Chain A
């Protein structure tokens, strides 16, 4: 199994509070992603990173920010959590192979509840 951990695994917070989720990898993969999974929507990309300090927005980036100061860590921050951000969050990694498609490896997920 790819070495990906997420912390915390579960969190309950209140509306308006800041929340940071952490993704840590031991695979030295270049690409890291944050997704949220909601019923009826599948997996939607929030942000992704293609290198240290290099990030880009995904489909549902509003209300979220990310940072990647080291290859192995990718942080997702909700500056002021809202109930609509209650979801399961997955981190994923992949390696870039020029000219060849590549799969992603996912972490175990973080269940976030915003009251």
Chain B
């Protein structure tokens, strides 16, 4: 049973607009959350993270929001650029072992010029 879920397999957004990628988790013991970006034929690369003691973390065009009561996190990309087109994975750790990670199934973002 997947503990981290990304229910939208794909998302299409116009260049310059906001992209919002969503992620839900089931295990309340998770205390650290990460987003990774993956281009075809490459390994995932770390994008941004958030600890459960925060509800928002910002890094340039990327902001991650965490709603612990809803067990939901989201990644906002503003403004979206064509180079952002990739697959985005959310991941979570905790559960007594912050070095073991659980990944969602990914959302493929397409930013149209």
Residues A31 and B41 in contact in the complex (CB < 8 Å), given A42-B89, A42-B106: no
Q: Please determine whether B105 and A40 come into contact, CB atoms closer than 8 angstroms.
A: yes
The A-B contact count (CB < 8 A) is 60
Asked if B99 is at the interface of the complex by the 8 Å CB criterion, the answer is yes
Minimal beta-carbon separation of A29 from chain B (angstroms): 10
- Chain A 69-90, CB-CB to B under 8 Å as 1, else 0, gives 0000000000000000000001
Q: How far is the CB of A94 from chain B (nearest CB, A)?
A: 6
Interface string of B45-88 (1 = CB under 8 A from A): 11001010000000000000000000000000000000000000
Shortest distance between the CB of A55 and any CB in chain B (Å): 12
B111 contacts chain A at the CB level, 8 A cutoff: no
**Nearest CB in chain A to that of B105: its residue:** A42
- Size category, B interface: 20 to 34
Smallest Cβ-Cβ distance to A91: which chain B residue? B43
A59–B46 CA distance with the chains assembled, in angstroms: 21
Query: Which residues of the partner chain B approach A4 to less than 8 Å between Cβ atoms?
Result: 43
In the complex, chain A residues whose CB is within 8 Å of the CB of B49: 101, 103
Complex contact B43–A106 (CB within 8 A): yes
Bound state CA distance, A6 and B9, in angstroms? 28
Q: Which residues of A contact B34 (CB under 8 A)?
A: 101, 103-104
- The reply to whether B41 and A103 form a contact with Cβ atoms under 8 Å apart is no
Q: Name the interface residues of A43-101: CB closer than 8 Å to any CB of B.
A: 43-45, 48, 50, 58-59, 90, 92, 94, 96, 101
Top 10 A-B pairs ranked by shortest CB distance? A101-B32, A106-B43, A42-B105, A103-B46, A43-B103, A42-B103, A42-B106, A106-B44, A31-B99, A108-B43
B-side residues, CB < 8 A to A, are 6, 9, 31-32, 34, 36, 41-46, 49, 51, 89, 91, 93, 98-106
